[in-house]
């Protein structure tokens, strides 16, 4: 655990050193703020003290931003050769992977924490269902963790950051959109399976304030699967 | 801490990169690891450093197997890869702190070790700069510092002096020699003079196979079993001397040296020496012997002889 934290610290610092973190935070706040408060189906349009518009937009912004954060985590180290040095240090592959995972996850936590003023503002102008807001944030965190784990896997199989970004988006779009669409086009048990696989189904139920152990199990299995895939790719050592 | 490479083989696809190599490195010994490009040097280093496991065989570092317990082996190794990969966006001092933490330097000693490394590797004026902003020579020093920071028992250096200026090369070689007194050092290099100047023993590989293992002196003896001496004999006629030298019983061949009018090269038959006979001959004939030098084959020639197949 100590080793994992050392790697997390280094990665997190490198996000801020390379300005990646600042760009991510500014763009995310800009996008989500714009669509939450100013444009489209914003809070004033629906005229309810609810953060639903924010969760809807964050759902998509995170989908695009997370692959951009994770794409370099392995691909860049593989390209510059630092991965070779890192795996010959007394750390296990799993510690390296989880270290990087938590670094990206903490960056998302920081970013989402900066949107808390939205919550306080809405709470100031109307009666907010506090439970559903906190559940919505929890949903965003689970969703982010899933995409980080998918992004880590994508980054671990290539030394090209662009490839890693596109692969992560490609895998992500199935969970984000395609399974849901396919489910509505089919019936019976197949629709049930596709609907369960769709990440948006689980996220929407959470952002409405409903939590189910099935949802948690779903998110956790995607996270574990992505990280395990990354470990498998890393253990092959074909750098 | 001893390093025991036991009959390792590594294949990439159909190609054998390393083919049943075995050698040992003892504590307090610096071993030079030589070979042409693609001979399997780097692959062997990667196996010793637990980067990847061998297909066959095993490596034991201080009795611990890289197959059974790589985490433990890694703690005792300091490694400087050939490409010297570094996190370019990190300041030197932060990077060294990271390297110290990840290699289990106790928290209380980290500052002290970083200070020592900065001093030893001459990084004082550069310590707050980002690594990417440093010149290649300084980056090489940072690479060396990260390999040494946890005071490892075994040090594996792949081309440690590349990119350094002559003064720095001397400094780093001295440093390696000092470390080599108590530690186990394996040094890969293409620069034969460097290996000869720094290493106690030389291991040469070619096409994945071990072709030589010994000190520079034994390698020379192996490669050259016939004595060759270069002599300059004055106060006599060139051709008479030539004929007289040919008459020596143990001499196999005599040549004129092109650059010296009175110089000759005498090759003895295998296992014999002609030096005494040459001296006696000169005394007998009243000639003056002004030079007698045994001709040593250079390490380069030995290397070429062992690694060129045709």
Which residue in the block uniquely carries the two structure tokens 């460097």? B194
Interface test with A, best of B66, B87, B99, B186 (most A CBs within 10 A): B87
Cβ of B77 and A88 within 8 Å? yes
Spelled out in words, what is the top-level CATH class assigned to the domain B3-222? alpha beta
pTM assigned to the model:
0.85
Q: pLDDT value at position A88?
A: 92
Cβ of B81 and A6 within 8 Å? no
Q: What is the ipTM of this complex?
A: 0.88
Task: Tell me the C-alpha distance between A154 and B283, whole Å.
Answer: 83
Cβ of A13 and B52 within 8 Å? no
Domain range list for chain B: 3-222, 224-296
Architecture (CATH level 2) of domain B224-296: 2-Layer Sandwich (3.30)
Instruction: For A5-32, write each residue's pLDDT tens digit.
Output: 999 999 999 999 888 899 989 999 998 8
- Asked if residue A226 has pLDDT above 90, the reply is yes
Partner-chain residue, chosen from B51, B83, B104, that has the shortest CB–CB distance to A87: B51
Interior CA angle at B133 toward B82 and A13, to 5°? Answer: 90
| Shortest alpha-carbon distance between residue B70 and chain A (Å) | 8
**What residues of A are in contact with residue B51 (Cβ under 8 Å)?**
84, 87-88, 237
Domain range list for chain A: 2-235
Task: Tell me the C-alpha distance between A51 and A44, whole Å.
Answer: 11
- Render each residue's pLDDT in chain B as its tens digit; 310 residues: 889 999 999 988 888 889 899 999 998 899 999 888 888 888 899 999 999 899 999 999 988 999 999 889 999 999 999 889 999 989 999 999 999 999 999 989 999 999 998 988 888 888 899 999 998 888 988 998 999 999 899 999 988 887 778 888 888 888 888 888 888 999 988 778 888 888 889 998 888 888 888 887 787 777 666 778 888 888 888 888 888 888 888 888 888 877 667 888 888 887 778 888 888 888 888 888 888 888 777 777 777 777 776 4
Instruction: For A144-198, write each residue's pLDDT tens digit.
Output: 999 999 999 999 999 999 999 999 999 999 999 899 888 888 888 888 888 888 8
- Closest-CA residue to B29 (of B217, B218, B211, B176): B176
- The distance from CA A231 to its chain's CA centroid, rounded to whole angstroms, is 19
Cβ of A237 and B51 within 8 Å? yes
| Shortest alpha-carbon distance between residue B216 and chain A (Å) | 31
Q: pLDDT value at position B156?
A: 93
- Asked if residue A239 has pLDDT above 60, the reply is no
Task: Tell me the C-alpha distance between B214 and B202, whole Å.
Answer: 5
Cβ of A14 and B90 within 8 Å? yes
| Shortest alpha-carbon distance between residue B139 and chain A (Å) | 13
- Nearest Cα residue in chain A from B87: A82
Task: Tell me the C-alpha distance between A174 and B261, whole Å.
Answer: 87
Q: pLDDT value at position A238?
A: 64
């Amino acid at each position: 655990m100590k080793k994992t934290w050392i790697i997390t610290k280094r990665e997190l610092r490198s996000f801020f050193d390379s300005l990646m973190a600042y760009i991510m935070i500014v763009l995310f706040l800009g996008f989500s703020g714009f669509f939450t408060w100013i444009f489209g189906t914003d809070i004033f349009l629906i005229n309810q003290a609810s953060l639903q518009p924010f969760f809807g937009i964050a759902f998509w912004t995170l989908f695009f931003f997370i692959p951009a954060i994770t794409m370099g985590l392995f691909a860049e180290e593989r390209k510059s050769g630092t991965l070779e040095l890192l795996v010959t240090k007394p750390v296990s592959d799993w510690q390296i992977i989880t270290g990087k995972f938590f670094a990206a996850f903490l960056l998302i936590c920081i970013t989402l924490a900066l949107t808390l003023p939205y919550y306080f503002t809405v709470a100031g102008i109307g009666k907010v269902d506090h439970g559903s807001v906190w559940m919505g944030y929890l949903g965003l965190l689970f969703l982010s963790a899933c995409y980080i784990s998918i992004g880590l896997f994508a980054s671990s199989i290539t030394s090209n950051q662009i490839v890693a970004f596109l692969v992560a988006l490609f895998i992500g779009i199935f969970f984000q959109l395609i399974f849901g669409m396919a489910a509505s086009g089919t019936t019976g048990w197949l629709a049930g399976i596709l609907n369960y696989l769709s990440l948006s189904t689980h996220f929407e139920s959470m952002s409405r304030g409903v939590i189910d152990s099935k949802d948690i199990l779903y998110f956790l299995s995607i996270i574990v699967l992505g990280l395990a895939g990354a470990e498998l790719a890393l253990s092959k050592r074909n750098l | 801490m001893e390093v025991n490479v036991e009959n390792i083989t590594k294949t990439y696809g159909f190609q054998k990169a390393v083919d049943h190599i075995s050698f040992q490195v003892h504590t307090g010994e610096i071993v030079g690891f030589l070979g042409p490009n693609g001979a399997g040097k780097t692959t062997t280093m990667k196996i010793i450093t637990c980067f990847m496991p061998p297909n066959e065989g095993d490596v034991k570092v201080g009795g611990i197997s890289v197959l059974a317990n790589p985490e433990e082996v890694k703690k005792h190794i300091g490694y400087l890869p050939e490409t010297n990969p570094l996190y370019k966006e990190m300041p030197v001092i932060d990077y060294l702190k990271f390297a110290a933490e990840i290699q289990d330097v106790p928290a209380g000693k980290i500052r002290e070790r970083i200070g020592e490394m900065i001093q030893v590797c001459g990084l004082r004026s550069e310590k707050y700069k980002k690594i990417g902003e440093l010149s290649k020579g300084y980056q090489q020093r940072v690479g060396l510092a990260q390999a040494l920071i946890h005071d490892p028992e075994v040090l594996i250096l792949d081309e440690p002096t590349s990119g350094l200026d002559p003064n720095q090369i001397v400094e780093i070689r001295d440093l390696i020699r000092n470390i080599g007194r108590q530690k186990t050092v394996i040094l890969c290099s293409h620069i034969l003079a460097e290996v000869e100047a720094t290493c106690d023993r030389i291991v040469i590989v070619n096409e994945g196979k071990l072709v030589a293992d010994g000190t520079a002196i034994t390698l020379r003896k192996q490669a050259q079993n016939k004595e060759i001496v270069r002599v300059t004999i004055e106060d006599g006629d060139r051709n008479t001397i030539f004929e007289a030298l040919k008459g020596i019983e143990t001499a196999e061949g005599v040549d004129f040296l092109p650059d010296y009018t009175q110089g000759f090269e005498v090759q003895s038959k295998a296992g014999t020496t002609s030096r005494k006979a040459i001296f006696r001959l000169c005394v007998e004939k009243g000639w003056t012997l002004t030079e007698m030098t045994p001709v040593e084959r250079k390490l380069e020639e030995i290397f070429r002889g062992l690694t060129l197949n045709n």
